[in-house]
Amino acid sequence: MRPATLAVHAGRPPRDVDQPLNVPITMASTYVAGGDLEYGRYANPTWTAFEDALGGLEGGRCLAFASGLAVVATVLDLVGPGETVVAPRHGYNGTTTQLADLEARGRVRALLVDIADTEAVVAACADAALVWVESPTNPAMEVADIPTIATAAHDAGARMVVDNTFATPVLQQPLDLGADLVVHSATKYLSGHADLVMGAAVTRDDELYGVLKGRRDLAGAIPGTFEAWLALRGLRTLPLRVERAQANATELARRLTDHPAVVEVRYPGFGGVVSIVLRDADAADGLTSGTSLWVHATSLGGVESTFERRRRWRSEPSTIPEGLVRLSVGIEDVEDLWEDLAAALPTT
Ligand SMILES: *Cc1c(COP(=O)(O)O)cnc(C)c1O
């Protein structure tokens, strides 16, 4: 099956008479003993349906987690004492903060790199036990050369992980490009409606799958059943939503590039996230408080267009400009989105 078909058809109950088309929401802490399920922290049929669908789209075996950061914590916990993790300096804030926290407690060594500088990343891989890639990065929108970095990581005996939250499996399939593991914040595009928090990991490596499943069983970072059901419902329309958000983002990036108040547009040419740089913090705050359609809110990947001045967060690196606004372009009519933005942008 091709991705758009798979997104619609994967993770359904068997096609037998009187079976529902959709997987039921199984609310259960325990199951009759002697089978595969046993207990609610180990397994749930509603999670499994979501995992089958996302696993199909990424081309591996999937495990759902309580949140994107629960996956990040689980994966970073596999790094041995004192070993080195190579990661993007402009990666997702929570990931960078977890790494800094682990480093401060003497657990791992973190080596932050410019993920778009392939030569520097390859050189850094020599010492690594784990190479963490985000592409595009948040919010700088840098793009990594995943196949080259995967080869360098494997040559050094390291594992390579790609956070595929921004691109989604519709636009990028990291396992095909050589990654060992894909991680997701399902909170964003996968569920797509800004109504839940959930995470997922996907791998083709059965041993790694077993280790991660064991950690999930043990640490208990499991998703809610209703969240898994909603995420699967969202996943059904992922290819359509990504296609529309990308078309809108491409058009807005083009118009913003021509706008006199916009110093810089950062758009890698795919996906629904566009970062723009305005003159300073005041100009950016003026934009985020001046619209009626665009909502000033963190997070991304919903059907509705949102945006945010990233440096309002103290933890954002100082290499991100004060006037940078990250736009998560939704699926609305692009003319309405443009009119609302244009009216709130400074005139020069
Ligand atoms: C949001 C996000 C995360 C964290 O996921 P949560 O579901 O918020 O815990 C990780 N990586 C990226 C790229 C994200 O955007």
Cα(20) to centroid of ligand 1, in Å?
32
Over residues 29-58, the pLDDT tens digits come to 999 999 999 999 999 999 999 999 999 999
135 lines ligand 1 (CB under 6 A): no
d(CA 209, CA 215) in angstroms, rounded, equals: 10
323 lines ligand 1 (CB under 6 A): no
71: confidence class by pLDDT, cuts 50, 70, 90: very high
d(CA 41, CA 43) in angstroms, rounded, equals: 6
Length of the chain: 348
Domain 3-235 has CATH 3.40.640.10: yes
* 166 CA closest ligand 1 atom index: 13
Residue whose CA is at the smallest distance from ligand 1 atom 2: 185
308 lines ligand 1 (CB under 6 A): no
Q: Structure tokens of 63?
A: 């495990």
Over residues 235-274, the pLDDT tens digits come to 999 999 999 999 999 999 999 999 999 999 999 999 999 9
Q: How far is CA 23 from CA 56, 63, 192, 199, in A?
A: 16, 17, 19, 19
pLDDT value of residue 273: 98
Q: Structure tokens of 282?
A: 């005041």
Beta bridge partners of 266: 275
- Indicate which residues carry an active-site annotation: 41, 92, 163, 188
Q: Which CATH architecture has domain 238-344?
A: Alpha-Beta Complex (3.90)
Q: Structure tokens of 26?
A: 């199984």
Q: What is the mean pLDDT of residues 290-296?
A: 97
347: confidence class by pLDDT, cuts 50, 70, 90: confident
d(CA 54, CA 288) in angstroms, rounded, equals: 34
d(CA 38, CA 44) in angstroms, rounded, equals: 9
Over residues 137-179, the pLDDT tens digits come to 999 999 999 999 999 999 999 999 999 999 999 999 999 999 9
d(CA 121, CA 133) in angstroms, rounded, equals: 10
Q: Whole-prediction pTM value?
A: 0.97
Residue 175 backbone class (left: φ over 0; alpha: ψ -120 to 50; beta: rest): alpha
Residues 6+ positions from 295 with CB-CB distance below 8 Å: 304, 305, 306, 307
Residues 6+ positions from 332 with CB-CB distance below 8 Å: 248, 293, 304, 305
Domain positions in the chain are: 3-235, 238-344
